[in-house]
Amino acid sequence: MRTAVGTAIGIVGLVVAIAGCDRSRSTRESSAPPSIAPANTGTVTEAARVARLAGWNDTIAGPDLLVAGTNSSEAVVIMPRYTDSTVADAPSADSALGQHPRVDLFSRHGLAGAAVLASAAAGNFTGTCTAWPTATVTTAEGPPPDWSVGFMSGHATALPMDSMMGLPSADSARRAAAIARAASALPDDTAAAFRGLPFAVRDAHQFILPAGDTVLAAEVVRRLNQEASPQEEHLLIVLERDTLAAPGGGPRPFVVAYSERTSGPEDDVESSEMLAAVALGHAPRQHPAIIVSRDYGDGSSYTLLERVAPRRWRARWNSAYVGC
């Protein structure tokens, strides 16, 4: 069953050419593409496939990533050290949970609260369907508040996101236009069937980095309504804007710092959801990151997108896939 990912925002009916490519469920294309601002023409391209990097840093991010389960009192315990090729060797329970660790909980709105974990259901890494272990989440104040991701206490600081859905219509339209311009400027639009089709912004959130720069992360969708086999193209895009004013005094344009393209049958195509933005580590060497949920219809995985330089993000780490 596909997890919910934000309702499509119907204010965007712009016709643009979003870069995309046909893919199987296990393949996606990512890049840190050229800026859409005329003054910045540098290009940085990541590998065509988002590698399953062993890129999780325990010292900076802690030993585990936690995501909310079926309710706010349940945490799914993602063990980052296990990849697609090694997850079959993962233990059914994480030893760290036996110490009842304190954790910080985050939502897209920022820090949701602090809690304590205790081991609950064991994980399953054999057979047709696999699952991560779970833990109970308790707080001194009672039932935990709504949250989406968690880190062991002291490893992450909130970077609160706002949602396009909560903006006045004029501001929402301006943000949608910025996303549309960025999408239409991306190169290598190889999915010819989607060219010229309108798109909808399915999920869009903005936040401010510790240095003051603005980041806008969005998922944009185009649909090909073939009766026999409806197709979708999904674009995950991260835009960044310098905090310094442009020469004329207004805000500088957004530039594309990262993008991914996926396409395929409507029921099978991968969709993404931004769960939260955080700064990992401690000042002055903090690492801004976005935690992304990947939904494949019958399973899921998680990605940590990390800012590695001004106007450049990359997929720092991808979890193992679990599901059926």
Residues 144 and 217 grouped into a single domain: no
- For residues 188 and 300, membership in a common domain is answered with yes
pLDDT in tens, the chain (324 residues): 434 333 333 433 333 332 333 333 333 556 544 433 332 322 233 332 333 345 899 999 999 999 999 999 999 999 999 999 999 999 999 988 888 999 999 999 999 999 999 999 999 999 899 999 999 999 998 899 999 999 999 999 999 999 888 888 888 888 888 897 888 788 776 677 787 777 788 889 999 999 999 999 999 988 888 878 888 889 999 999 998 878 887 788 899 999 998 888 888 888 899 999 999 999 888 999 999 999 998 999 999 999 999 999 999 999 999 999
Omega cis (within 30) before 38 = no
Give a yes or no: residue 12 inside a domain: no
Cβ atoms of 182 and 130 within 8 Å: the answer is no
Dihedral sign for Cα 138, 92, 4, 13, please.
positive
**Which residue among 127, 154, 181 closes a domain?**
154
Model pLDDT, residue 31: 56
Same domain, 312 and 189: yes
Tokens encoding 84? 């697609």
Q: Is residue 22 included in any domain, yes or no?
A: no
- Give me the residues paired with residue 296 across strands: none
AA letter at 230: P
Contact 222, 180 (CB under 8 A): no
Whether residue 268 lies inside any domain: the answer is: yes
Alpha-carbon distance 90 to 299, whole Å?
17
Q: Looking at the structure, tell me whether residues 308 and 270 fall in a common domain.
A: yes
Please tell me whether residues 130 and 205 are part of one structural domain. no
**Domain range for 33:** 29-52+159-323
In angstroms, rounded to a whole number, what is the distance separating the alpha carbons of residues 122 and 284? Answer: 38
What is d(CA 82, CA 213) in angstroms, rounded to the nearest whole number?
34
Q: Does residue 209 lie within any of the structural domains? A: yes
Tokens of 140: 């001194």
3-state helix, strand, coil in the chain (%, to 5): 10, 40, 50
Q: Residue 7 domain-assigned?
A: no
Residues 6 or more apart in contact with residue 282 via CB below 8 angstroms: none
Residues 6+ apart with CB under 8 A from 78: 64, 65, 66, 67, 132, 302, 319
In a domain, 3, yes or no: no
Residue 207 lies in a domain: yes
Does residue 235 lie within any of the structural domains? yes
Residue 30: per-residue pLDDT: 62
Residues 299 and 177 in one domain: yes
pTM (2 d.p.)? 0.83
**Statement to judge: residues 212 and 119 lie in one domain:** no
For residue 282, give the amino acid letter: H
Question: Do 243 and 170 belong to one domain?
Answer: yes
Whether residue 40 sits in one domain with residue 91 = no
Which SS3 state, helix, strand or coil, does residue 172 take? helix
CA dihedral 10, 16, 22, 24 (to 10 degrees): -30
Give the contacts of 142 (CB within 8 A, at least 6 positions apart).
none
Last residue of a domain, one of 129, 154, 179: 154
Residues contacting residue 140 through CB under 8 Å, at least 6 positions apart: none
End-to-end CA distance of the chain: give it in Å, rounded.
10
Per-residue pLDDT at 190: 65
Among 108, 139, 154, residue at a domain's last position: 154
- 171 and 97 fall within a common domain: no
How far is the C-alpha of 228 from the C-alpha of 236, rounded, in Å?
A: 26
pLDDT for residue 265: 86
Q: Are 286 and 44 within 8 A, CB to CB?
A: no
Are residues 34 and 172 both part of a single domain?
yes
Domain count, the chain: 2
Question: In this structure, are residues 315 and 291 in contact, taking their beta carbons and an 8 Å threshold?
Answer: no
